[in-house]
Amino acid sequence: MASNAMTQLSAVTSMNLRTITQRMASSTVALVSIAGVVIVLIGVLSIAAGFRVVLDQAGQPDVAIVLRDGATDEMGSSLLNDQVRVISDAKETARDADGTITSPELYVVVDVPLLRTGTAANVPLRGVGPQAPKLRKNFRIVEGRNFTPGTFEIVVGRGASLQFAGLTVGNRVRWGTTEWSVVGIFEDGGSVSESEVWTDATVLQGAYNRGSSYQSMRVKLTSPGAARTFEDTLTADPRLNVRVFTEQQYYAQQSRTLQTLVRTVGVTIAVLMGLGAVCAALNTMYSAVSARTREIATLRALGFGWGPVVSSVLAEALLIGVIGGLIGMVIAYFAFNGMRASTMNTATFSQITFAFTVTPQILVLGLVYALGLAFVGGLLPGLRAARLPITTGLREL
C-alpha cells in the first residue's frame, strides 16, 4: 500500500513539475513576490544584527562603566573629581607602568551634516583620559595621529568619518564657540566607538563649561571575575553614590530597545508583504489546478488517491518558494551585507554608525519564510484539486 502511494506521488509530482513551463507567467509573478518578501525581511533583520554587532564588539567582561546611581546612560550621569579618585583607588582596578587603567569621560552631542543628505545629525563628542585607548581592545590610529592632550584637537572614528561631512584629517570644524582640528582617524574593530569623535576630557570640560565634572568612568579590572567585587566595593563606599556595569551589560541594555523596534517593524512589513506573496502563489496554483482539471479527474478515475494530487500541487508551490527564496537570499546578501549606515541610538539620542550584517541565521530564516508562504499558497489549491468531483472534471473541455 505504501509503495503504491509513493509510486502515485512520484508519477503525479513529476508530471506536474514537467508542465510548469506552461504556467511560466503566473509562476514568475509568485516567484518574484516571494523573492521580494525575502529581500525585505533579510534587509530589515540585518539592521538589527548590525546594530547588535556594533555594541557587542564594544563590550568587554573585564572593563567596567561607572555611572551615578539611578542613571541608565551617560547622558543622565554625573561624577565629580573626588569620586573619580576614589574609583581609581579601588583594589580591583588594573594598573600598569602609567598608573591605573581608567578613563573618566565626558559625553556631549554636536551637530554634523550627514554626507548623503546634508541634514544635521547628532554625533557623540567624547572627552577621554590618556588611558582611554587601553580600555578599547581593538583601538588603533589608522590615519594621522592621536590628539595632543590640552589642545583643541580631535580624532574621529572610522564609521563617523564615512557617514558625516567634514570629519577628515586636516579639516577644521566649529562646534559652539570652539574650533577643533581633525588630526586622526581611528578604528576599534567595528565597535560603537567608531561612531564617536574623541578629544581630551579636560579640554572638553572647559569648552562646554562643565567645570570639573565627568559623566562616566571606564575602569580596567584585574580580571573578569573581579566585576562583582568591584561593584560591591564601590556601592558600599559612603563617599560614592554610583552604579556599576560591565561593558557587556551596559551595551546589551542600550541595544535592547532598538533591536526590539527594528525586529517588530521588520516582522510587520514581512507579514504584510507575505500576504501579497501568498495571494500571488494562490493565483498561480489555482491557475495550475484549473488548467489540469481533466488531467486530475482522469488520474482520480484511474485510482490515484487525493494525497498524491495534493502533494503534487504543493511540490510545485514549494519549488517556486525555494527558487524565490534563494534568489531573494542572494540579492539581499550582496545588496545589504557590509553596507554602512547610521541610525539614532534611542538611549543617548545620538547617531550610531553600523554595517548591515546578514548572518547565516537570517538567511535560513528568509528561506524558511519563503517556504512557509509557498506552502500556504499551495495548500488550498491542492485541496481543491483533491476534492474535485471526477465526473465534473471529465466533462471539462
Residue 397: the pLDDT is 44
- The rounded distance, in Å, linking the Cα atoms of 9 and 306 is 10
Which residue's entry shows cell 517556486? Answer: 320
Mean pLDDT (the chain) is 81
164 shares its domain with 36: no
Q: What is the structure's pLDDT at 102?
A: 95
With 0-12 CB in 10 A as exposed, 13-18 as middle and 19+ as buried, what is 238? exposed
Does some domain include residue 169? Answer: yes
Q: What is the pLDDT of residues 95-138, one digit of tens each?
A: 999 899 999 999 888 999 988 888 888 889 999 999 999 998 88
282 and 319 belong to one structural domain: yes
One domain, residues 153 and 182: yes
Q: Tens of pLDDT along 149-195?
A: 999 999 999 989 988 999 999 999 998 889 999 999 999 888 888 88
pLDDT at 51: 74
**Whether residue 88 sits in one domain with residue 223:** yes
Question: Do 200 and 128 touch, CB atoms closer than 8 A?
Answer: yes
The answer on 349 and 205 residing in a single domain is no
Q: Which one of 207, 240, 273 terminates a domain?
A: 240
> What is the pLDDT at residue 219?
95
Examine the domain organization and report whether 218 and 82 are in the same domain: yes
Please indicate, yes or no, if residue 272 is contained in any of the structural domains.
yes
Q: Please give the Cα distance from 16 to 302 (Å, whole number).
A: 17
Q: Do residues 302 and 381 both lie within one domain?
A: yes
Query: Do 231 and 98 sit in the same domain of this protein?
Result: yes
Q: Would residue 117 count as lying in a domain?
A: yes
Q: What is the pLDDT of residue 154?
A: 96
Domain boundary among 240, 274, 301: 240
Amino acid at position 45, single letter: L
Nearest to 157, CA basis, from 133, 130, 177, 179: 133
CB neighbours of residue 31 within 10 Å: 26
- Model pLDDT, residue 1: 44
Find the distance separating the first CA and the last CA of the chain, reported in whole Å: 33
Looking at 240, 271, 290, which one is the last position of a domain?
240
150 found inside a domain: yes
**Same structural domain for residues 343 and 202?**
no
283 three-state secondary structure: helix
- Any domain includes 62: no
| Per-residue pLDDT at 2 | 47
- pLDDT for 197 equals 95
- HSE (side-chain half, CA atoms, 13 Å) at 153: 14
Task: Examine the domain organization and report whether 106 and 146 are in the same domain.
Answer: yes
When divided into structural domains, the chain yields a total of 2
Say yes or no: 197 and 342 in one domain. Answer: no
At 385, give phi and psi (nearest 5°): -65, -40
Residues forming beta bridges with residue 109, ordered by sequence position: 124
Identify residue 175 by its one-letter amino acid code: W
Local mean pLDDT, 10-residue blocks, the chain (397 residues): 53 58 67 85 83 71 91 86 92 92 92 86 91 91 95 94 92 91 92 90 92 92 92 91 88 73 74 74 64 60 62 76 90 88 61 79 90 80 65 50
Range of the structural domain that residue 96 is part of = 70-240
Q: Does residue 201 share a domain with residue 85?
A: yes
Q: Is residue 323 part of a domain?
A: yes
The answer as to whether 232 is a domain residue is: yes
247 inside domain: no
